[in-house]
Chain A
Amino acid sequence: MMQSGNRAFLSGNAAIARGAWEAGVRFASAYPGTPSTEILEYCGTYDEIDAQWSVNEKTAMETVIGACYAGARSLCAQKHVGLNVAADPFFTVSYTGVNAGLVIVSADDPGMHSSQNEQDNRFYARMAKMPLFEPSNSQEAKDMTVAAIKMSEEYDTPVMLRCTTRISHSEGIVELKERAQAPERQFERKMEKYCVLPHNARKLHVKVEERLEKLAKVGSDCEWNRIEDGDKKVGIISSGISYSYAREVFPDAAFLKLGFTNPLPTELIKKFAQMVETLIVIEENDPFIETEVRAMGIKCIGKDKIPVCGELNPDIIHASLAEFVTRKTPETIEKTKEEIPVRPPVLCPGCPHRGVFFVLRKLDCTVTGDIGCYSLGAFAPHNAMHTIVCMGASVTNALGIEKAMKEKIHGKLVAVLGESTFIHSGITGLIDTVYNKGRHVTMVLDNSITAMTGHQPNPANGKTLKGQDTKTLDLEAMAKACGVTNVHTVDPFDLKQVEATLKTALNDEEPSVIIARRPCFLLKNYKPEIKLVSINRDKCVKCGICWKLGCPAIEVSPEDGRTVINATLCVHCGLCAAVCRPGAITQEKGE
């Protein structure tokens, strides 16, 4: 953390972790997921916070609930779709309430920079009847985390803090404070509070409704919801990052800036609506605030002009509300007419997943995919995936395909997922597959790390978030325990072995598991044996087989159409030498 005096330049995620520390949080848990991942990584940098990676969002939330019942101020964090996984305990902890403060962070991803949908998780707070904070910069991210813990204890409720990618991954200056001392709280047996048997839950639901009524009054008179004076021709209601954008576009307008958005401050909204000539609600994705404003009988402009799909920015807000904007549109330069080739992310040079996709494509398999770096296997030139739905879905999607297609798909069907995703929610699918007599092959790509989100340890690599040694999960034994008899282990750099093993497994009458094991090439402690790759370009016949590897280090020469190896990118993994038919690319032992 870059700190000067009591000020630091922090991302929203770092600010949330700092807020947790200042609020006296002792325990934090999460499963990694962009854009939320760094919250727990930063929590882990504080000695006073016991921070851990759970195996999925549901176990993270359940652990955090246990910790807060037992007296530790706690935090759990997840990306928006992670809250779907944790939804079961999420709804019920709203009923039980807390003992020590509990803050639940949801980091949504408008624009789907790194996600499969752009669900607006503010609706979760409304549905679970939980208080909701929406920070619009790093300072607020920190302050609201502190406020959330306080409110949690005061109203006996978990509190949700919802940020978005642009809050999590933007940085700003934050004033720092000292850590608060949390009072000692004992874990007491309170069957009527902590055991949600129907008999108790009915009473708890009544308490939830009473709590919501009290909280409804808080919003109209709190520091997080404020009227900002300005030109009253146009009045703007906004929250989160949209507020920061709207401020740029309407520097002189009157604003109702909302930071505490469930329950909504109806009195304040009515007051503001009466003050201004035209009311505009500016929010990203769904009309969470707007729908309620309209339900109150107040006329406003909102999603009739502002797009629902995609991330907002000042330019989009300006363009959709041009008739109300008094600021001039910035003058732009002429746009280049040049076709600019896209530059999407690709599997890195040396990635252990590359060879697996090459073989799957070669054998023309039907592949159900999953969430991780290997999702990139869906793109050209791999073109090796037929489905990607959510974490763990590869295994059970494959089972469903078998149920629909029966014999027609036998011998062709492979589910592909990483070891972290397998542990997250693939194991249950594998048991389901065995139990329900599925026969497809499940390939676990074990690269010893949760790579996509930036290298977090997981149970298969024997390290905790804090870097301590722990037991390593034996994936082969796990597969066998699920009831799979045919469990194989292969080196994904050994293409012949991968192909031969896949052929055997595909023809088995029982389900098989193949564990393709080789560390992510970017792992700092991974030191593979280097064998120098070189190309004799005279021997290249432009057959194009090496291009199918989709390696960034392999280029086609614009001059003669033959392969060129980019020496600055090549890491000498040797896959191209293994596939080169005319023997133009070779690999030999070097230093």
Chain B
Amino acid sequence: MTTNILLCGVGGQGTLLASNLLAECAMEAGNDVKKSEIHGMAQRGGSVVSHVRFGEKIDSPVIRKGECDILLAFEQLEALRWSEFLRPNGLVICNAQNILPMSVSAGNAVYPKNILEKLGSLSIETISVDAIGKAKELGNQKCLNVVLLGVLARKLTNIDKDIWPKMIEKRVPAKFLELNKKAFESGWNLI
């Protein structure tokens, strides 16, 4: 059984750290793991996506259209953009946040309305969480990524819960450790 997870968001939201953590937890749980992402051009403000695949043996580091099990979206428009990778009955976990692309803020394009409804009309399951609100409540927007990982972890039955804080400890600098552990717990309890 291979699990395919796509993480998408806007440059600067911390998707890369989240995908690293996810991959490392999957590895710790005894899986073969591959991960792929594109970084280059000034990242800030651009659309970013990471593919994470784990299971017994993984060849390609990229997920095929129709084979993504869970889409972890850090932003609503990005959720819609990457939704076509989901398999029928796949799951999208979406942070309830809108970040306007330049084309929209300059008035040259329109940010789609009612994205959650639109996602709901596709044959997939949608969970919307106010992860950004939770991160602000914890006092630091930057832990948004770990809040979302907490939500994801709850849905992933093939990685034991106690692996997560262990890997967060390895990866996160000491002064942000408590914050991130709390962020993970509150994500876990969001759904």
Contacts and interface: CB of A to CB of B under 8 A. Distances in A.
Interface in A308-358: 313-315, 318, 329-336, 338-348
Contacts of A171: 23, 33-36, 61
Interface in A372-390: 373, 376, 380-381
Contact of B33 (A172, A331, A380): A172
B138 interface: no
B144 to A, nearest CB: 12
Interface string B94-119: 00000011111111111110000010
B3 interface: no
B36 A173 contact: no
A211 interface: no
B42 A452 contact: yes
Interface string B53-76: 000001111101111000000000
A7 B66 CA distance: 31
A2 B40 contact: no
Nearest to B103: A341
Interface in B109-149: 109-112, 118, 122-124, 141
A505 to B, nearest CB: 27
A261 interface: no
A452 B46 CA distance: 13
A470 interface: no
A561 B107 CA distance: 8
A494 interface: no
Contacts of B88: 331-333
Contact of B170 (A2, A331, A547, A556): A2
A343 B101 contact: yes
Contacts of A34: 39-41
A561 B105 CA distance: 10
Contacts, number: 184
A313 B66 contact: no
Contact of A333 (B35, B87, B101, B110): B87
Interface string B149-170: 0000000000000000000001
Contact of B46 (A172, A244, A343, A522): A343
B64 A555 contact: no
Contact of A166 (B62, B66, B102): B62
A345 B46 contact: yes
Interface in A1-50: 2, 4, 7, 9, 34-35
A170 B35 contact: yes
B58 to A, nearest CB: 8
A557 to B, nearest CB: 9
Nearest to B124: A333
A305 interface: no
A534 to B, nearest CB: 18
A248 B60 contact: yes
A291 interface: no
B41 A333 contact: no
B15 interface: no
A113 interface: yes
B149 to A, nearest CB: 15
Nearest to B41: A345
B46 A346 contact: yes
Nearest to B107: A556
Given A333-B124, A338-B80, A547-B106, A169 B60 contact: no
B7 interface: no
A381 B106 CA distance: 9
B77 A343 contact: yes
Interface residues of A, number: 61
Contacts of B62: 166, 245, 313-314
Contact of A346 (B39, B45, B78, B104): B45
A373 B47 contact: no
Contacts of A247: 59-60
A582 to B, nearest CB: 18
A488 B76 CA distance: 47
A380 B111 CA distance: 18
Given A248-B59, A554-B105, A335 B80 contact: no
Contact of B44 (A113, A318, A348, A558): A348
A9 B24 contact: yes
B45 A9 contact: no
A464 B3 CA distance: 42
Nearest to A376: B42
B121 to A, nearest CB: 8
Nearest to A4: B28
A345 B122 contact: no
Contacts of A330: 64-67, 87
Contact of B40 (A35, A244, A554): A35
A501 interface: no
B84 A166 contact: no
Contacts of A166: 36, 61-62
Contacts of A52: none
A239 interface: no
A332 B68 CA distance: 10
Contacts of A452: 41-42
Given A248-B64, A333-B90, A173 B42 contact: no
Nearest to A373: B42
Contacts of A329: 66
The 5 A-B residue pairs with the shortest CB-CB distance in the complex, in nearest-first order = A114-B40, A330-B66, A345-B46, A332-B66, A341-B109
Interface of B: 10-11, 20, 23-24, 27-28, 32-47, 58-62, 64-67, 77-78, 80-81, 83-84, 86-88, 90, 100-112, 118, 122-124, 141, 170-171
7 contacts: A2-B171, A9-B23, A114-B40, A248-B60, A314-B64, A329-B66, A330-B67
